[in-house]
Amino acid sequence: MSPSMLATPVVVEENKKYQMGVKHLCGNGLTKVPSKYIWPEPDRPIFTKSDNLIKPKQNLKLPIIDFAELFGPNRPQVLRTIAEACETYGFFQVVNHGMEGDVSRNMIEVCKRFFELPYEERSKYMTSDMSAPVRYGTSFNQSKDNVFCWRDFLKLLAHPLPDYLPYWPTSPSDFRSLAATYAKETKEMFEMMVKVILESLEIDGEDDEAAEELEQGSQLMVVNCYPPCPEPELTLGMPPHSDYGFLTLLLQDDVEGLQILFRDEWVTVDPIPGSFVVNVGDHLEIFSNGRYKSVLHRVLVNSTKPRISVASLHSFPFTSVVKPSPKLIDKRNPPRYMETDFATFLQYVSSREPKWKNFLESRKIDHRLII
Ligand SMILES: O=C(O)CCC(=O)C(=O)O
Ligand SMILES: [Fe+2]
């Protein structure tokens, strides 16, 4: 008998409540985390007590890239630091990136107001269609997750903007204009970063096809809302995952929560106000033939402060094939990944839980098996 046939009306009602999201669940004040959100013990975060506060175990200072230095005599050194960061951590932080403080602050602030709208307004955008231009939801993959995450989200396709903007929320009334400005400026920042990344791989001006495709490429903005949680040590805001794209540009408010897997340990990234956290996605790992690493990361929640983050995932157009750059392949460096496309990725994630590095692992070529 399938579990759904065993479900009592009470269980069905409970599940419906969880599908409505964490913000809705917290509306009436909660003192305990419902069992739906309790992760198995080995997956739970480790908190320690310091300064009389319960804190995540260890903080990590990611390499900081001063973007302005790329336009001066230190450019070669900055490029080396970026290459090392992408090889070692799969992550770096960028300061002096050129985006006005108002643009990012307005984005965080209008997203906060979006999540404060009545549930009926937010839920207009709920859909199970993974390719919808706007998608509101909760957890990680709410139709598949057995244990839920303490997170609600709004996903917006953002490039080409004129194709998608007419679908974006009209409430709050300034949402579209502020989020569109943010999307455009993030896209420009991504384009600058592509040049820098190709130069750090020493193939700038050589793989023009890839550079052009990335310029025309896809952009998905994921707004994450993590309400305060009464028992943060029992749950996660986001499970361990890697991002599918080429690069992710992550804007966070001043509340920490992002953790990355570094030398088999979960370490918390110290937020730097006004900075961007940039991470290598699966497509860049494939494109660089494994030199740059798409690293697992997850999100912790806390008991006092709500947290908002905006991840902008940039990559090739949805119709492109992603493969190791021909410029990085030779006899001694055979391709280590199979070609992949977006349709395959979507098929993969809708057929199983996209946790851990499943998708990327499925694209790896094991040369030991090829004779
Ligand atoms: O909220 C964060 O800090 C990270 C979000 C994230 O990893 C994502 O949206 O893919
Ligand atoms: Fe992510």
How confident is the model over 215-259, as pLDDT tens digits?
999 999 999 999 999 999 999 999 999 998 999 999 999 999 999
Structure confidence by residue, pLDDT tens digits, 184-212: 999 999 999 999 999 999 999 998 999 99
Taking the C-alpha atoms of residue 115 and residue 112, their distance in angstroms, rounded to an integer, is 5
Structure confidence by residue, pLDDT tens digits, 79-90: 999 999 999 999
Is residue 297 one of the residues assigned to a domain?
yes
Cα angle vertex 281, ends 298, 328, to 5°?
Answer: 145
Structure confidence by residue, pLDDT tens digits, 296-350: 999 999 999 999 999 999 999 989 999 999 999 999 999 999 998 877 776 776 6
Q: Is the CB of 210 under 6 A from ligand 1?
A: no
Q: Is the CB of 139 under 6 A from ligand 1?
A: no
Is residue 273 one of the residues assigned to a domain?
yes
Is residue 2 one of the residues assigned to a domain?
no
Q: What is the mean pLDDT of the chain?
A: 90
Q: Is the CB of 310 under 6 A from ligand 1?
A: no
Q: Is the CB of 238 under 6 A from ligand 1?
A: yes
Q: 176 CA distance to ligand 1 centroid (A)? A: 22
Q: Which atom of ligand 1 is nearest to the CA of 153?
A: 9
Query: Which residue segment(s) compose the domain that 169 sits in?
Result: 16-365
- Six-digit token string for 359: 């998708």
Q: 311 CA distance to ligand 1 centroid (A)? A: 6
Is residue 370 one of the residues assigned to a domain?
no
- Six-digit token string for 3: 């579990």
Structure confidence by residue, pLDDT tens digits, 158-183: 999 999 999 999 999 999 999 999 99
Q: Between 202 and 352, whose confidence is greater?
A: 202
Q: 63 CA distance to ligand 1 centroid (A)? A: 18
Is residue 9 one of the residues assigned to a domain?
no
Least confident of 5-14, 178-187, 360-369: 5-14
Residue 1: its pLDDT value, please?
Answer: 47
Pairing of strands 307-315, 265-269: unpaired
Residue 93: its pLDDT value, please?
Answer: 97
Q: Is the CB of 221 under 6 A from ligand 1?
A: no
- Six-digit token string for 315: 């990559």
Q: Is the CB of 152 under 6 A from ligand 1?
A: no
Which mutation among 222, 266, 270, 280 tests ligand 1's pocket best, with the greatest number of atoms within 8 A of CB? 222
Is residue 193 one of the residues assigned to a domain?
yes
Is residue 357 one of the residues assigned to a domain?
yes
Least confident of 13-17, 54-58, 130-134, 144-148: 54-58
Asked whether the predicted pLDDT for residue 49 surpasses 70, the reply is no
Residue 334: CATH number of its domain: 2.60.120.330
Q: 330 CA distance to ligand 2 centroid (A)? A: 32
Is residue 195 one of the residues assigned to a domain?
yes
Return the SS3 of 252. strand
Residue 29: its pLDDT value, please?
Answer: 79
Number of domains in the chain: 1
Structure confidence by residue, pLDDT tens digits, 144-155: 888 999 999 999
Q: Which atom of ligand 1 is nearest to the CA of 257?
A: 3
Return the SS3 of 321. strand
- Helix count (H) and strand count (E) of the chain? 12, 17
